C-alpha cells in the first residue's frame, strides 16, 4: 500500500492521486513538481502481451510505442496492450488522464482534458480523437473525432499545438 505523505490515507500501488487530499502521490507534492518520464509495464504483465493468442484468441504484438513531447523533450513509453488516454488533469471534475500534458504547456497549447486515446489492436497502434476542442492531427491532417487511425513509426501526432513524435519498436 502507498501512504499519502500529506494526510496518511492508504492507497493501492499505482494510484497517482490521493482521494482524500488530492496530492500527486509519486512526488508527494502538487502536480508538475516532477514529471514522470516513463510509464513502465507492471510486474508480470509483460509475459501476457506477446505474440501468442490471448484467452480471446487475439494476437498481441510486443511492439512498444514511445512518444517524445517536442515542447519539453519528455519521453513516455506506453504500456503494451492498454488503452492510454491523453489530456489535461482536472481533479475538481475527476478527470485523470494517463498522460497529463499540463506540465508540457498543455493548457496554453490547447490540449483538452480528454483529448485522445491510443490503444493497441491486433498488433497495431491506433489513435482516436475524443471530440477535442482544438483537434488531433496526424502528420498534419486533422482526425475525425471517434474514428481510429493507425499509428506508424516516425509519425507526428499533434494535440492542439503540442507535438508528439511517435516511435514504434518491434
- Which CATH number fits the domain that encloses residue 58? 2.60.200.20
Residue with the three cell numbers 498522460: 99
- pLDDT of 161: 95
- pLDDT of 64: 86
User: 103 with 151, same domain?
Assistant: yes
pTM over 0.85: no
Spans in the chain with pLDDT lower than 70: 20-23, 27-62
Task: List CB contacts of 35: < 8 A, sequence separation 6 or more.
Answer: 72, 74, 103, 104
Number of folded domains that form the chain: 2
User: 130 with 65, same domain?
Assistant: yes
User: 72 with 128, same domain?
Assistant: yes
User: 65 with 28, same domain?
Assistant: no
Among the listed residues 49, 70, 28, 33, the one whose alpha carbon sits nearest the alpha carbon of residue 160: 70
Q: In this structure, what is the dihedral angle of CA atoms 70, 74, 80, 81, given to the nearest 10 degrees? A: -60
User: 75 with 28, same domain?
Assistant: no
- pLDDT of 85: 95
- pLDDT of 105: 92
User: 41 with 84, same domain?
Assistant: yes
- pLDDT of 62: 64
Taking the CB of residue 130, how many other CB atoms lie within 10 A of it?
A: 17
- pLDDT of 86: 96
- pLDDT of 35: 40
User: 25 with 80, same domain?
Assistant: no
User: 14 with 45, same domain?
Assistant: no
Among the listed residues 10, 146, 40, 22, the one whose alpha carbon sits nearest the alpha carbon of residue 96: 22
- pLDDT of 29: 54
User: 23 with 55, same domain?
Assistant: no
Find the DSSP H helices in 23-126.
none
User: 27 with 93, same domain?
Assistant: no
- pLDDT of 42: 40
User: 26 with 49, same domain?
Assistant: no
- Is-contact 6 29, C-beta < 8 A? no
Residue 1, domain extent: 1-34
- pLDDT of 143: 96
- pLDDT of 4: 78
User: 81 with 43, same domain?
Assistant: yes
- Is-contact 2 15, C-beta < 8 A? yes
Amino acid at each position: 500500500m502507498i501512504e499519502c505523505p500529506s494526510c496518511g490515507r492508504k492507497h493501492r500501488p499505482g494510484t497517482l492521486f490521493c482521494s482524500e487530499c488530492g496530492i500527486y502521490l509519486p512526488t508527494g507534492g502538487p502536480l508538475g513538481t516532477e514529471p514522470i518520464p516513463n510509464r513502465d509495464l507492471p510486474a508480470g504483465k509483460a509475459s501476457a502481451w506477446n505474440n501468442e493468442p490471448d484467452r480471446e484468441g487475439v494476437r498481441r504484438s510486443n511492439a512498444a510505442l514511445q512518444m517524445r513531447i517536442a515542447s519539453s523533450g519528455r519521453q513516455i513509453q506506453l504500456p503494451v496492450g492498454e488503452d492510454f488516454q491523453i489530456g489535461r488533469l482536472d481533479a475538481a471534475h475527476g478527470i485523470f488522464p494517463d498522460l497529463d500534458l499540463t506540465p508540457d504547456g498543455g493548457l496554453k497549447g490547447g490540449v483538452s482534458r480528454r483529448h485522445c486515446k491510443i490503444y493497441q489492436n491486433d498488433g497495431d497502434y491506433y489513435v482516436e480523437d475524443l471530440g477535442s476542442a482544438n483537434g488531433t492531427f496526424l502528420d498534419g491532417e486533422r482526425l475525425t473525432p471517434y474514428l481510429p487511425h493507425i499509428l506508424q513509426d516516425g509519425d507526428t501526432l499533434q494535440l492542439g499545438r503540442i507535438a508528439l513524435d511517435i516511435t514504434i519498436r518491434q
